[in-house]
Amino acid sequence: MTVAIQTKELCRDFGDNRAVDGLNLKIESGAFYGLLGPNGAGKSTTVAMLTGSLRPSSGNIEILGRAFDPDDPFFKLSMGVVSEEPPLFERLRGPEQLVFTGRMYGLARQVARQRAGDLLSLLGLDAHPGTLVADYSRGMKKKLAIACALIHAPRLLFFDEPFEGVDASSADTIRKVLEGLTRRGATVLLTTHIMEVAENLCHKVGIINNGHLAHETDMDSMKAQGLSLGDVFRSVVGDTNVVSLPAWLMEQEET
């Protein structure tokens, strides 16, 4: 198998704080890889470095077999990115946003229009061609952002919390799209806080804690051992959901 993403001793400092500390990742092409970790573990910083919006303090990144240069058009054309809060032009309509994005990736106008129509239909957005993005629901905006990330048919996709704030129907559509992408050979890196999503979709999961890769597990092997991803996560980072209610909140009201 070829390698889509590889990092070696990747670090990122913010002043005296080291957010990512010697991260070593190796993700094969065609994989659906989940990147998990508690808040502040370094997930978002890692993805920002892998997508070129943040420069490493030290270490190396290889993308699709090449040393990563975020200014090289090869990498921009090879990637699709969906952030937790997608940067959309709210005064455009959905089809206009997609055609504009396609043109920015170098697609001919007619090709961009055709692909925009295909993606709007695929993601269930074709019933609202005249609606401004500003008037889209959160789920519609998330699906439009995914369409923007797909319009140039990239080989590598980064999805940051793609199910955050979307309804059940939209989430099901997004799941089917992501599964289809890996079947056609694309590599997907997903960050999420929802264990069930990662467990049901990902082939492999890496858990980041304190800025480094604390654990990596293959989903099939994990399930063969009778473990859940929640079990593995808690054993690696500790139980972050222990709640101790104050005594007064536990007292029963007398009737």
Of the two residues 244 and 140, the one the predictor is more confident about is 140
Full-model pTM? 0.87
List the domain boundaries for the chain.
3-89+153-250
Contacts 24+ apart (CB under 8 A), 225-234: 228/195, 228/199, 229/36, 229/195, 229/198, 229/199, 229/205, 230/195, 232/205, 232/207, 233/36, 233/195, 233/207
Write down the pLDDT at residue 241.
Answer: 63
Q: What is the CATH architecture assignment of 3-89+153-250?
A: 3-Layer(aba) Sandwich (3.40)
Convert the pLDDT of each residue in 142-201 to its tens digit.
Answer: 899 999 999 999 999 999 888 877 778 878 888 888 888 888 889 999 998 888 888 888
